[in-house]
Each structure stands twice: as C-alpha cells, then as structure tokens.
Amino acid sequence: MPPTNTPLAIDRDGQDDLIFLDEPPAEMPPLAQRGVWRVMIIDDDEDVHSTTTFALGNLDMQGRPLEFVHAYSAAQARDMLLVESEIAVILLDVVMEQDDAGLHLVRHIREDLKLADVRIILRTGQPGYAPEIDAIRDFDINDYKTKSELTRIKLYTTVTSAIRSYEQIRKIGDSRRGLNRIVQASTDLMALHGVRDFAAGVLAQAANLLNQPCSGLLCVQEDCDGGTLHAVAATGAWAPLEGSRLKLAGAQPLPALAARALAERRNVYTDSTVALYFAGKACRTFVAQLDVARLPTELEERLLDVFAAHVAVGLDNVELVAHLHEAAFYDTLSKLPNRTRLVEILDATLAGAARSDAVLALVDLDHFAETNDALGHEFGDMLLTAVASRLQHRLAEAGPHLTVARIGGDIFCVLGDGLYVNPANLLGQFQEAFNIEGQDVQLTATLGLVRLAEHDGSSGSDALKDADIALKRAKTQQRAGYFYFSRNMGVEIRERVRMMHALRNAFSQNELFVMYQPQVDLQSRHPVGAEALLRWRTRDGKFVPPDRFIPIAEYSGLIVELGEWVLRTACKELVRLRAAGHLDFTISVNVSQVQFRHPQFLSMLRRALDDSGAPPAFVELEITESMAMEEPDMLIEMLNQVRQTGVKIAIDDFGTGFSSLSHLQRLQVDRLKIDRAFVTEITGSSRGSSIAEMVIQLGRNLGLSIVAEGVEDERQAQVLYHLGCPLAQGFLFARPMPADELSDWLAGEARRSA
C-alpha cells in the first residue's frame, strides 16, 4: 500500500512541525556509491509514513542518506523482517491491530529474531497511552515519543541519536568478531610446525581477515645489516619466489611496499597492496606483502595491526617451538626418536596390521658405565653416537620400516618385522668393534624382546614395560644374551603389583602385627631376649609368608615405613617388659638394606628410642651378611654412627654369604647369628657341625656373642652348647608369640627358675 503525500496540519502555536512544502527534496546520489541508513517505519497510519519520509528524506545522517522501508501492520513487519537486512532504526507505532501489537512486535524482534543491533523508537498517537514498564525494562528500546512531540527537529534528533547508537554497536560487534577471527587465526597458526608452514599460514590468515584471495610472500632478514632477505613462503603470483634470496638493493629486489614497511617499521596499506611488518628479536625481522583488490577499511587496518603484533611473537618463537618439539620427541645426542616418540610409534603399530609380525627389542649395552667412567663422558657420548649410527643404518639396509630409538642412557630400542628384529641380527651388530678416535672399542649387548602379536596390553607403554621385563630376566641369566617376554612373566609382574597394593592396604588396615620369638641361654635355659618378627594375617585368617611380602615391601619402598613401625612397636614392648621386671632382656629387630640406606635412618632410630624411652643397650639391630659385605666402607661408617646411639648390631644368617674376614673384623658388630640351615646340618648332614663350629670359633676369636637360630630338638641344643654357643632360639624353646603371650611366658619362666 503506497504512502500518501498528505502533510500534517500546521501547528497553531507556530512550532516547527512536519510540513516542508517549501523544501523540495534534493536529488539523491546513487546509493551504491554512498551507502545508506535503512529506517523501517511500522505504522497503520499511511499519513505517518508519508510525513516521516517527507521530513527526513532529504537529510544526511553521519554522512549517509536514509532509505525507508514501510510496513503497515505488525504482522506485515514480522514477514518483512525475515528478509530485510541492515535495518538501523525502527520507528514503531505502539497501537496498531491491537493496543499492544507494537510491544509484542518488540518482544518478537529481540527474542525470536535475535536482532540486537537495530534501534527501536516507539511512537504513539494516543498521548495518554504509555507502553508497559516491563517492556521498557526488559527490552532495548531507544526512545518513546508521542507523535505530536515529533516536530522536524525532534524527529531528526531522535533518529540521528539512534543511528549513532546503531553505528557504535555495529563497530563494537565488528571489532569483536574481528578479534575473534584473530584469536582463531592465532590458534590455527600455533598448530602448524616449522617456519615455512607457519609463514604460509600467516599469509593465508591475513588474506582471510581481508576476505581476499591469498597472493603474497613473507620474508625474513638473514643478516643484521638487513641487506638480504629469505622468502620463507610465497603464494599466488608470488609463488615462484619461495625459497629465494631477495635484496633491498640490486638484483632480485624485495617488492617495493614490503621494503617500505621494513624501512619505516610499520604496516603500510594501499588500494592494491598491503605490507605487514613483524618486529622480531635481534636480526630475525619478518615482513609480508599481500595483493588486495581494494583499500582495507579502517576496521580491517586495525585488525591487521593487532594480527601483525600477535604474529610477530609467533614468528619470533616458531623456531623455539620447533626446537622444543624436537627436544620433546627426539634424543639430542643421537637424533633418534626418544621414549615419548617411540611410545607413539608403538601405539600406531599396535593399532595396525603390522602388529602381527612386529617385534620390539630393547638393546642394553653391557658394562657401558665402566667404559664411560674409564674413558670419560665425551668419549662415551661418541661411542653412543656410533652405536646409534650403526643400528640405524645397517638395520635399515637389512629390513624396511624399522624404527631405531634411544630410550635411556645406554639403552636403544628397535621396532620392526621379526624377520629382521631378532637376536642373531641385533647381536651381530656388535661383533665388529667400534672405532672412536682411532681406538677400537668392543661392545656386547643384552636384549629383551617382545612379540607384539603376543602382547596382552593395548598401549605402547605396556609393550615397552614387557620388553623391559624380558631385558631384566636376560640380565639375571647372562650378559650378551637375550630373552623373549612371555605371558608367565607378565603374570609374575602383575602378581607382584597386586601383592604390593594388598600389602599397603593391609598395613593401613592393621592386618600386620609383630610376633616375638624368645632367645635363651643354653646353659641355664633362662630367656635373655626375643627377636621381633613381622607377620601378615589377612582378614580371612590366612597367613602370608614373610618371604613373599618382605621382598615386595623392599621393592616398593614400603619397608622404610614398615620397618620404623616395627622398631617403635618393639621398643614400646621392651619398655613394657622392663616395667614388669624383665630388666636383663634384649629385643632384636631386623633391618633391611633399603631401610639402612635411607638417609633418615639414623634420625628415625634416635626418634624411636627417645619417643619410647627404650634403653639403647637392650635394643639390637640385625643386618644380613650379604648386606654387611656390600660397600663395607660405607657400612662401617654407618655402623659406627649406630653404635654411638648405644644400640647393638648383629649379623643375621651368618655363613650363607661370602664374608671377607678383614671386613668383618673392621665392622663394629656385637653378635653373629648362625643360620638355621647350619643348625639343621648338625643332626641331618654328613658334614655335621663343621660350619656351626667354625662360626662359633670365629665369633670367639673376634670377641662376638653367638646366637643359633632354628633349634628344634634337644640334641641340636646339646651339640651347640658343647661347641661353645651360648645362646639359641627355636621351636625347642618357644615358637613366635604375640606380645601379651610373651609377657605370660616370661612370667612362667621366671617362676620356674625361682
């Protein structure tokens, strides 16, 4: 329905109103050249349409003319808003088909159509009618006027204000969207690896910000005088220049606008070319030039300025990122894949068809530490490099698709088809000596292998663990050998892990407890002490043998915490027994090698004695013979410090190892314990008491006390006594018993001897 040109009546008070009969409309320039502000008039009064158009139609706002869109009902406006775009202002009649049709339309515009930018000016021809307070509060309404208020000046002022608001909102929105694009562009760039890919990504993202095809080049200065640049990446018409050397002067010159940006250290924009300057550290300055079909807008220039600042940091650090990637996945010495990269390759192999024939082999160089110590670390590094080179090149020639990695100090790994990754082929690589600086070095290696087809786990880390298990088994058998992983070995390891977790849980749930086995004087049969023994009874009443859980405790390190608890428990029991009158009574506590080597062992010992009040002279620590002979110099110093606390030292299981008598003489110990195996031989072996007699005589010569373990019958006791052994423990005298039973047993023994 076309609007009428009928003007409103002249206001009787002479106010400036909407009648401009003396002002013919000026001819408008083409809208495509100038751009327009689109104003939508929604009103069921045709005269309002014509007078509004007449009043504003020949005026510019913010340098642009107005273009009007007309709707004569709320329903018609709903349909038109679905297809009309870039509406800046809506002049909306409140009362149309219904009294609140305009307010319902406002809700539809904001909530359903999600048009947040358009400015809405409510108008009403009924001076007494006002829109609902809720509508003004809940929706973004720019203004509310009665139609009688809207003189020419007031109408112009109201619409101009709304257009300014709309323009600011759009600029903010465009800036936000532009910044989001920059953030996304930066994120995409960081996913690229290497300077070339990163530089090509910069060109593509800059062109994308301008909505232009990508045609340009990006260069980096190669020297501090800036005379030579390297074209890192080039696309479009500039593609032939990629990789070439460009000069600021002379042959093969840098494109003019890029040279200008470099000289002026800023971004330069023209209607055909954009040059971006990326300030870098030291001499690593970058510059890019892009072809464009038009002069970038002010907003686009600002966005490119921000983008260039972001990219400058990225370009400056992309070589560092590449270096970090290299360090993360490749061994710095041999340049081979490291453990992390190998696990990735293993994961891919396990997931593919190559798994069925693939073998993973760990190659551990024998005695490399000794070579490294004897000839120096620099020589050792050259030797490792030579091993890496031989494995990589000779094995690669022998079989395709082999991966050689270095996963530890002197441990290499080979992954590939079992036809080539086998003991004969791998160990054969070490038959020829390695020549390092004119010196021939002969190496051998030990292998741990796993066939991936037989590997139970699904991850590369699990396969590597299996190969390590096989390698450890091979080392225990012989050097320069090999061992293939089997499922049984995996079962053993899993059982050890299960036991370790069960032991930790048992300790926290108080399933572990201390038993005491008395030690007696063989002559008087009077108790003189007891050995504290750690025991484990599960909730179902079953006992776990100590020879099963003690090694697990040592392996896991839990023995340190367990050992302290046993020592404290034994010290408290000693104090309790002394309070009951058993003053000449010693309690012995076993100490493992892991405990003894712990840096806080001495502090722990002193705290346990101080906290419990146990007299150190009646506390004895038992260490094994093998432990006493390992690193004797360190042990002698440690034992001296233990002796300074007043605590006694006994060597347990004596005779089962290979003691050095010279070392034994230097050790500050108080007692030797004859192992039960030699006590059994007294009556059950042709050798009889020979070893027990030897230990007793040795103890006498060194001035040490002797205790025999495992005495089970009277004949053994008599033989030991006549050989000169003063003390013994075993089932003949008493079995291990809880603390409360020990008190009763000692009380009974005291009554019998009274």
Residue 179 lies in a domain: no
- Looking at residue 183, its pLDDT comes to 57
Tell me how many domains the chain contains: 4
Is pTM beyond 0.95? Reply is no
- Looking at residue 528, its pLDDT comes to 95
CATH number, domain containing residue 214: 3.30.450.40
Residues 727 and 612 in one domain: yes
End residue of a domain, out of 143, 174, 205? 174
Lowest mean pLDDT among 118-132, 617-631, 734-748: 118-132
Report whether 499 contacts 536 (CB < 8 A).
Answer: no
- Assess whether pLDDT exceeds 70 at residue 24: no
Neighbour count for residue 221 (Cβ, 10 Å): 20
- Looking at residue 14, its pLDDT comes to 36
Lowest mean pLDDT among 54-68, 72-86, 348-362: 54-68
Share of the chain above pLDDT 90, in %: 30
- Assess whether pLDDT exceeds 80 at residue 149: no
The contacts of residue 575 (CB under 8 Å, 6+ apart) are 612, 613, 614
Average pLDDT, the chain: 82
Share of the chain above pLDDT 70, in %: 81
Residues 46 and 92 in one domain: yes
Residues 323 and 382 in one domain: no
Expressed as residue numbers, the domain containing 137 is 31-174
The contacts of residue 3 (CB under 8 Å, 6+ apart) are 46, 47, 49, 50, 53, 70
Residues 146 and 225 in one domain: no
Residues 621 and 746 in one domain: yes
Residues 160 and 73 in one domain: yes
Report pLDDT digits (tens) over 155-165: 888 888 888 87
Lowest mean pLDDT among 112-121, 252-261, 663-672: 663-672
- Assess whether pLDDT exceeds 80 at residue 19: no
Residue 24 lies in a domain: no
Residues 545 and 454 in one domain: no
Report pLDDT digits (tens) over 296-315: 888 788 888 877 777 776 66
Lowest mean pLDDT among 142-151, 197-206, 274-283, 714-723: 142-151
Q: What are phi and psi of 103, to 5 degrees?
A: -65, -40
Report pLDDT digits (tens) over 272-291: 999 998 876 655 688 899 99
CATH number, domain containing residue 732: 3.20.20.450
Lookup result for tokens 């030699």: 678
Residue 457 lies in a domain: yes
- Looking at residue 31, its pLDDT comes to 36
Mean pLDDT of 532-549: 91
Residue 579 lies in a domain: yes
Residues 612 and 704 in one domain: yes
- Looking at residue 712, its pLDDT comes to 93
Residues 576 and 702 in one domain: yes
End residue of a domain, out of 310, 329, 348? 329
Lowest mean pLDDT among 16-20, 523-527, 587-591, 724-728: 16-20
Residue 334 lies in a domain: no
The contacts of residue 37 (CB under 8 Å, 6+ apart) are 61, 62, 64, 65, 66, 67, 88, 89, 163, 166
CATH number, domain containing residue 386: 3.30.70.270
Residues 324 and 370 in one domain: no
Mean pLDDT of 218-238: 79
Lowest mean pLDDT among 21-30, 364-373, 464-473: 21-30
Intra-chain end-to-end CA distance of the chain, in Å: 130
Rounded-to-integer distance, Cα 646 and Cα 601, Å = 15
Mean pLDDT of 564-570: 96
Report whether 280 contacts 312 (CB < 8 A).
Answer: yes
Q: Which one is predicted more confidently, 632 or 475?
A: 475
Residue 607 lies in a domain: yes
Residue 724 lies in a domain: yes
Residues 295 and 343 in one domain: no
Residues 316 and 212 in one domain: yes
Residue 551 lies in a domain: yes
Report whether 483 contacts 448 (CB < 8 A).
Answer: yes
- Looking at residue 320, its pLDDT comes to 54
End residue of a domain, out of 329, 363, 378? 329
CATH number, domain containing residue 152: 3.40.50.2300
